[in-house]
Amino acid sequence: MWNFPLFPDQASTIAKHVDALYFFALGIAGFFTAMICVLILAFAARYRRKSTADRLNPPTASRTLEIIWIGGPMLLMLTMFTWAAILFYKMYDPPVDALEVYVVGKQWMWHAQHSEGRAEINELHVPLGRPIRLTMTSQDVIHSFFIPAFRVKQDVLPGRYTTMWFEPAKIGRYHLFCAEYCGTNHSAMGGWVYVMEPVEFQQWLSQAGTGASMAEQGERLFVQYHCAGCHRGSQTVHAPRLEGVYGRPVPVQQGTEVRFTLADYRYIRDSILRPKSEVVAGYEPVMPSFEGQITEPDLLKIIAYIKSIGAKEATQ
């Protein structure tokens, strides 16, 4: 069977927009390349040494020509820039109702974790027609999460969370790659993304697995690592309570000044691993560091738990 696709599937809602811009840019590049080639040949033939073409009074200035060759390319470039900028903003602004999935890259595999609790390795199951937001980090070196059929690619960095979103638009199985050279088995670091009917996806989520949601697993870790000892109940003399902290500004002591920082994934992760770097105003820097003791997937679960107690508080 002759099967040599020149283009990956268009399996996300953004794919056709990315492709349209790609072909527009390719078309412009192609047009100018062809035009220049043709003109080189035409002028070479017309003004060759033996030709009798008129060489008298060559024009030395032409305002019309200058306006065309400055204005034309400028308009084309601005069109491309505006178009690309609009698309860029769209690609980096996930809808608020997006389904959250957490991804940890490590040499050499992808670990994906769904909020409901199910985790998978080198596979990612997602429902059709629902925006998916990935929060990603790496346990070792820089990786890059790449799904060609969705036209999305994002670097995955150690010590930092990066995000990316997409909306699957076609049922099927699509390649998943690591697109950043990360060591010996970089080329084997990949797998498959499965786009499923929403009903099937729900069944898949509830199958097997741990039964416990990410937040519930996080709560267990919260107790296991003795976070609860200081951050919960009546013990909160030396440590701030964490209910409702997620997504709110936190007053942080810096020298003699207090500044506010948002309690997001970044802040909570840093507070666990480097608790002395951003101490909440009014508290002593007594918390020990958990650097090197908690894996990235477990950190995400603990954050999910802290996030969930915020949500509970808010609805009370």
Residue closer to ligand CUA (CB basis): 125 or 143: 143
Which is it for strands 249-254 and 257-262: parallel, antiparallel or unpaired? antiparallel
Compute CA 13 distance to the chain's CA centroid, rounded to the nearest angstrom: 16
Q: How far is CA 148 from CA 15, 115, 123, in A?
A: 9, 25, 15
Instruction: List 153's β-bridge partners, or say none.
Output: 146
Kindly state the smallest distance separating residue 182's Cβ from ligand CUA, in Å.
3
Q: How far is CA 305 from CA 139, 215, 222, 299, in A?
A: 20, 4, 8, 10
Residue closer to ligand CUA (CB basis): 108 or 290: 108
Residue closer to ligand CUA (CB basis): 105 or 218: 105
Buried b (16+ CB within 10 A) or exposed e, 197-219: eeeebeebbeeeeeeebbbebbb
| 155 phi and psi angles, rounded to 5 deg | -65, 145
The C-alpha angle with vertex 39 and arms to 33 and 40, in degrees rounded to 5, equals 90
Residue closer to ligand CUA (CB basis): 108 or 265: 108
Residue closer to ligand CUA (CB basis): 148 or 240: 148
Kindly state the smallest distance separating residue 150's Cβ from ligand CUA, in Å.
18
Kindly state the smallest distance separating residue 146's Cβ from ligand CUA, in Å.
9
Binding residues for ligand CUA, per CB under 6 A? 105, 108, 143, 178, 180-182, 186, 189
Kindly state the smallest distance separating residue 185's Cβ from ligand CUA, in Å.
8
For residues 309 and 98, give the distance between their C-alpha atoms in angstroms, rounded to a whole number: 20
Kindly state the smallest distance separating residue 193's Cβ from ligand CUA, in Å.
16
